[in-house]
Amino acid sequence: MELEKLEKDIGYCFKNKELLKTALTHVSYANERGVKSYEKLEFLGDSILEFISSKYLYNKYLNLTEGELTKVRAQVVCEDSLKDVAMKHKIYDYVLLSKSEKTNEGNKNVSILADCIEAIIAAIYFDSGLEEAEKFIIDNLKASMEYAEKHIGMKDYKTVLQEKLQKNGEVEIKYNIIKEYGPDHDKTFVAEVKCNGKVLAIGEGKNKKTAEMQAAKAALN
């Protein structure tokens, strides 16, 4: 398995290459071959990611309240953000899957790609310590943190719209992704919001959640 290109892409060269290989090994492949999967690395990587992102946000955005910091962090560590990092580094070309998982295009599965990024964080930690893991996290998620901080109010648009539409009784509100365009590493998603089957508005963004928020915002205007 050629991993040198991936190491170059992520900006970190592993002393122990097996750590990186394990971080890319899905449980389906591990069960087939009798090797370790990334599950335990992903478990630790999730905690490291939350700690480092919390520390960064705490020191960077002194004006934000605890609630606002929590909202920003939630957007930064969500699957969509981690998937974007995975797509940027073409993790889909390296993840090890079983034959059946490959057939089902598991290498494009958002959860699998996000898990791989968390596992890589833990692998870097074991290989070189917290400082290098922190560097990887900040290098790859700093832009997401800044974007989330600037658009912190967006998380309320769907709630505000729901309250407005249900003021006089229950209605069915649905969000659908109707289009996506752009290269895999830089996709733009287009979402629509419907109320009782009627399209109210359309919005777009760099991930599905943002597109839905923009659609809700447009429906409120």
Residues classed as catalytic: 46, 118
Which two tokens mark 217? Answer: 């915002």
CA-closest candidate to residue 218, choices 186, 197, 188, 191: 191
Q: Which three-class secondary structure state does DSSP give residue 90?
A: coil
Which two tokens mark 131? Answer: 């400082």
CB burial of residue 209 (10 Å; 0-12, 13-18, 19+): buried
DSSP string, 57-78: HHHH-TTS-HHHHHHHHHHHSS
Which two tokens mark 44? Answer: 């630790």
Residue 93 has a CB neighbour count (10 Å cut-off) of 11
Task: Give ∠ CA 131-132-135 in degrees, rounded to 5.
Answer: 90
Question: Are the C-beta atoms of residues 30 and 37 closer than 8 Å to each other?
Answer: yes
Q: Which three-class secondary structure state does DSSP give residue 179?
A: strand
